[in-house]
Chains A and B, each alone.
Chain A
Amino acid sequence: MQTSELYLLKKNMDAIKMLDEKARKIRKHVINMIFEAGSGHPGGSLSCVDILTALYFYTMRHNPMEPEWADRDRFILSKGHAAPALYAILAEAGYFPVKELLSLRKIGSMLQGHPDSDVSGVDVSSGSLGQGLSIASGLALAAKLDNKAYRVFALLGDGECDEGQVWEAAIFASHYKLNNLTAIVDRNGLQIDGPTEKIMCLEPIVEKWRAFGWHVSEIDGNKMTEIIGALNEAKITSGRPTVIIANTLKGKGVSFMEGINAFHGKTLSKEELKIALQELGGD
């Protein structure tokens, strides 16, 4: 290995370390926010933290000092119930003060239970499943019409893929060759009523998206190097949109929440909060 390659490797390893540390911090915010709110969706928020961290702190071009920057990359949280994760990311990135996070779901707060476009850094309200990929496709089309280089990202839940509109958008984006569009499916395998394969089976999910004309990557969606690798691959894919099937763990980062569906839409007890924060460590 040449010195320059070693240097790059070291630099990348530092970046990964920084991102993992950021994700840990975001997870603590998420736990605290949902505890303070008394309700929310911790499981699906924790599963996608690494993906959101990679997007906002590595891949996407955006500027919290200029949220309306015309050339910024766009992100749509189609699985809107992961709002706590998005809000924590935006606060950590500097879109609004971190102390606002604890107002989640409270009356008068800008931090609505599901993403609201009144929040700095949120381009579109969401929460009703199945709509984000259509909206992202429209934005990607707008970019092409204006000859803009910005890219559009949408994060979908796997249970969300039960919605017919997801597949309407999937057929559309590939028909219009929206290579500036990247969808990420948070494949945590659980939906409200149980395992996705029991409630409404999605497998073979990779083949489904491929059959719809998409470039597909399948990764460990809780592993930073794999997320970044897939996002880089999406950037250089031409002629078609990319979907990243990100296999994740619901409740990732807190031992007693991992893979437990009960934490889809329930907050933690005081005792659980204490253990969770201890496990996540740090300050």
Chain B
Amino acid sequence: MELKSTRDAYGDALIKLGDTNKNVVVLDADLSTSTQTNKFAKKYPNRFFNVGCAEQNLIGVAAGLAIGGKISFASTYAIFSTRAWEQIRNTVAHDNLNVKIAVSHAGLTNGPDGASHQSLEDIALMRVIPNMTVIVPSDAMEAEKAVTSEAYREGPTYIRLNRTKTPIIFEDDYEFTIGEAVKLADGNDLAIFATGTMVHEALEASKMLKTENIDACVINIHTIKPLDKDIIVKVAKQTGAVVSVEEHSIYGGLGGAIAEVLGEKYPVPMRIIGIKDVFGESGEYEELLKKHGLMAINIVKSAKELMGMKK
């Protein structure tokens, strides 16, 4: 299976954007090697701005460039972008500026660096801001398509990227449409909604469930906001039980967003799989996923519990 990190895809997409659109500018806060913006910096040094370790200024300068007509991509680690949350809220989002906050090392993917460098709350923090779009690509292909597509859409976006190489799910001809979830497996017994790295785990879980005669459909929610509410309600009606899974806190992320929709429109038994309101810690990425219950086997377990609760 081919592996590639979404940050790698981001770096590649930026170079292509730089070739085709001279208004694209890229900013980084002293992490350009990690976020892969260094590829753009090398090719377009005049349109790359390193602000040093200064995330508040990163967002402010990106906002100013956007007001001046540029398409600003601002990058750092996911966790450090939330340091400038108020700048993002009060300037970027309030004025609906063309700032694309594309951040790497999200979730647990920065494993050995430990809790201070992992980001498990960012989806919640970003999706609560009016005007903000939140995208969590599930693989490198989707990341590249999403980054390119967002460059040509007016307004702010938070794009959540990863350090770790993960399996490629989509083919070259995949078409990314903002706000439109993607059904990756059919099934009428229950639904698994997944985002980012967990989409692959959800697909594995659906295969395992099939061997036990449980047909689970798998939906890739790449856009957390605006959320594809229609497909969520439709699938909940079809299956009568849903599991959400994300590499993020169980509070305020994908699970929270889905629960908000179903709670109002079509309540069904639900399980939210994610980090259980704790900080991360040092460890290899796979070890951390295992420890925090973010493997296909954990999805299977929740799915089977839900099957017993179905009306």
Confirm or deny: A246 has a beta carbon within 8 angstroms of a beta carbon on chain B: no
Chain A residue at minimum C-beta to C-beta distance from B27:
A138
Number of A-B contacts (CB under 8 A): 100
User: With A and B bound together, what is the CA distance between A117 and B69 in angstroms?
Assistant: 15
Contact of B56 among A126, A134, A137 (CB under 8 A): A134
- A125-B68 contact given A134-B57, A138-B62, CB 8 Å threshold: no
Confirm or deny: A46 has a beta carbon within 8 angstroms of a beta carbon on chain B: no
User: With A and B bound together, what is the CA distance between A145 and B61 in angstroms?
Assistant: 14
Contact of B63 among A124, A130, A140, A164 (CB under 8 A): A124
User: With A and B bound together, what is the CA distance between A165 and B64 in angstroms?
Assistant: 14
Interface of A is mostly: helix
Residues of the B chain whose Cβ atoms lie less than 8 Å from the Cβ of A5: none
- A138-B52 contact given A125-B91, A127-B90, A145-B25, CB 8 Å threshold: no
Residues of the A chain whose Cβ atoms lie less than 8 Å from the Cβ of B39: none
| Complex contact B87–A138 (CB within 8 A) | no
Which of B43-51, B101-109, B135-143 interfaces with chain A?
B43-51
Confirm or deny: A217 has a beta carbon within 8 angstroms of a beta carbon on chain B: no
User: With A and B bound together, what is the CA distance between A123 and B230 in angstroms?
Assistant: 37
Number of interface residues of B (CB under 8 A): 28
User: With A and B bound together, what is the CA distance between A218 and B47 in angstroms?
Assistant: 34
Confirm or deny: A141 has a beta carbon within 8 angstroms of a beta carbon on chain B: yes
Confirm or deny: A169 has a beta carbon within 8 angstroms of a beta carbon on chain B: yes
Residues of the B chain whose Cβ atoms lie less than 8 Å from the Cβ of A126: 91
Chain B positions 62 through 103: 1 when the CB is less than 8 Å from some CB of chain A, otherwise 0 = 111111111010000000000000110011001100000000
Q: List which A156-211 residues lie within 8 A (CB) of chain B.
A: 164-165, 168-169, 171-172, 176
User: With A and B bound together, what is the CA distance between A137 and B57 in angstroms?
Assistant: 9
Q: List which A127-155 residues lie within 8 A (CB) of chain B.
A: 127-128, 130-131, 133-143, 145-146
Chain A residue at minimum C-beta to C-beta distance from B47:
A145
A116 CB → nearest B CB, Å = 8
User: With A and B bound together, what is the CA distance between A171 and B72 in angstroms?
Assistant: 20
A7 CB → nearest B CB, Å = 40
Residues of the B chain whose Cβ atoms lie less than 8 Å from the Cβ of A171: 52, 54
Chain B positions 91 through 129: 1 when the CB is less than 8 Å from some CB of chain A, otherwise 0 = 100110000000000000000000000000000000000
Chain A interface (Cβ within 8 Å of chain B)?
74, 117, 123-128, 130-131, 133-143, 145-146, 164-165, 168-169, 171-172, 176
Q: A128-B91, A142-B64, A169-B61 are in contact. List 11 more A-B contacts (CB 8 A).
A: A125-B90, A127-B90, A134-B87, A135-B61, A136-B64, A138-B67, A138-B68, A142-B65, A145-B68, A165-B56, A165-B60
